[in-house]
Amino acid sequence: MLSVAVATAVALSACAGSDTASTATEPTAVQPEATAAPEPTTAPEPTLPPEAAPTPEATPTPEAVPFETASARLAVDSVVDVLNGERELSPDEYRSAFGPSFRQQVPFEEFQGFNSQLIAQSPWTIVETLNESANEATYLVTNGADARFAIDVRITNGRISTLLLQQWTDPSFGIDDALDRFNAAGEFAYVAAQVSADTTCRTISEKDSDRVMPLGSVFKLLVLGAVVDAVDAGTISWDQPVTIRDELDSYRSGVTQDIPAGETRTVRELAEGMISISDNSATDHLLFLVGRMAVEDAQERWGVSDPDLNRPFFSTRELFHLKLDAELGQRYLASSVEERRAILEDLASLPLPPVELVDSEWTAPIAVTTLEWFATPSDICQVLARLAEDTEALRILEINPGVPSTRWAAVGFKGGSEPGVLAVSWIMTDDDGGRWAVAGAVWSETETGSPDPFVEAFATIRDQLVVDGE
């Protein structure tokens, strides 16, 4: 009942303060050196025809409509044209339309990666103005199907400084509606909790909160925890450059797989991509930077009650192999932990399965209760609570709030989906500095559908049940 893997909720996400405060400098276009014209040679005088035919006037080439940023509405109109594939955005237009702080968080290539995913779901239409002023506004857009997003835009000094495209939740949708939707779905579990000062999750509401659930990309919280451990131990640093390797390329969700091998990205940049846009290749680079065994060992410290569920801790690239090769997947499941480690080692020398195979074969649930990363809703609540104690980890989580909300002073998010699985996790901070968390999943071994209704239901629990339970 869940759709093919999409980074839940956010497609574009960057927030910045005033661009005037940014230290980023505008790139300077380098003009090529002029090529010297050849010396003229003497030629005979041309013989004119009896009557020279008039030269037809050249037809002027129509100028491209500029990317408008004079107001929030004009900026969103231009953005929607790009998301619909009705206009291409050149690197020069990107520099002129988006402020330096935004571009620093979302480079042009990353923006194009988001855009290609959304063009595939177009056409997008603005259907409602949720709030609007000259330089800051929110609009509801839909593609006429299940997808509904709120576009938040802010204009600073004539350029876009904030652009958020996020899952939209209907405020009239209530708790009973959410629970009815989950009950109709079949398999689901969740917990909503208040986080105490000692990072204990005090349950406000739950359904099978100690039941093991498939995590999808929520497992990336565990990789982030292992990264925090390694930074605290001094074995790596957030600013440390990591060399991009082709053998760690994975599919979907992200842009790291498109970065040429040999280039570098910092640990911080990879972690931001892993969490905010669920970048699979960034995740695999971090997993092998800190070490598979280190991530496995970190699970219990971060709150996973049964770490053996994720031993060995496979990478996203390895999971593509295991899911798409049925015989290999069955052999893996029938093997001991050490035999599984040997299988994963052998996969390192194999190329990725063809993307055509991914698109044709992984359209329905595949082994969602056996070939996955696993934890309970209570486990993930604990992981979130402990991550929130680390300043840098919390900042990374809060880059993408998943679904816009006015209920909270700050929201951190990690979600994940694949055919048959939708998992979500939120850590929220209220106006008094108190922390709250929601974690859960909906899954099916047989049905595939859109994740959007379930994202809306989980967001309703986040924004209504937790606060009402206070």
At residue 119, the pLDDT reads 87
Instruction: Write the DSSP string, 272-303.
Output: HHHHHS--HHHHHHHHHHH-HHHHHHHHHHHT
- Which of 61-70, 108-117, 253-262 is the most confident on average? 253-262
Q: Does domain 9-17+68-168 match CATH 3.40.50.1970?
A: no
Banded model confidence at residue 176, pLDDT cuts 50, 70, 90: confident
Domains 9-17+68-168 and 175-313+368-469 agree in fold: no
Average the pLDDT over 379-400 and give the result.
97
CATH of domain 175-313+368-469: 3.40.710.10
- % of residues, the chain, pLDDT over 70: 84
Q: Where are the domains of the chain?
A: 9-17+68-168, 175-313+368-469
At residue 372, the pLDDT reads 98
Q: Is 401 helix (H, G, I), strand (E, B) or coil?
A: coil
Torsion of CA 279, 285, 286, 292, to 10 degrees: 120
Rg (CA), the chain: 25
At residue 452, the pLDDT reads 76
Banded model confidence at residue 467, pLDDT cuts 50, 70, 90: low
Task: Say if strands 136-142 and 148-156 run parallel, antiparallel, or are unpaired.
Answer: antiparallel
Average the pLDDT over 102-114 and give the result.
84
Average the pLDDT over 69-95 and give the result.
92
At residue 109, the pLDDT reads 84
For the stretch 197-233, pLDDT in tens is: 999 999 999 999 999 999 999 999 999 999 999 999 9
Measured distance CA(250)–CA(126) in Å, rounded:
34
Q: Which of 321, 310, 327 is nearest to 379 (CA)?
A: 310
At residue 468, the pLDDT reads 58
At residue 243, the pLDDT reads 98
Average the pLDDT over 399-405 and give the result.
84
Q: Output b/e per residue, 25-43; b: 16+ Cβ within 10 A.
A: eeeeeeeeeeeeeeeeeee
For the stretch 273-313, pLDDT in tens is: 999 999 999 999 999 999 999 999 999 999 999 999 999 99
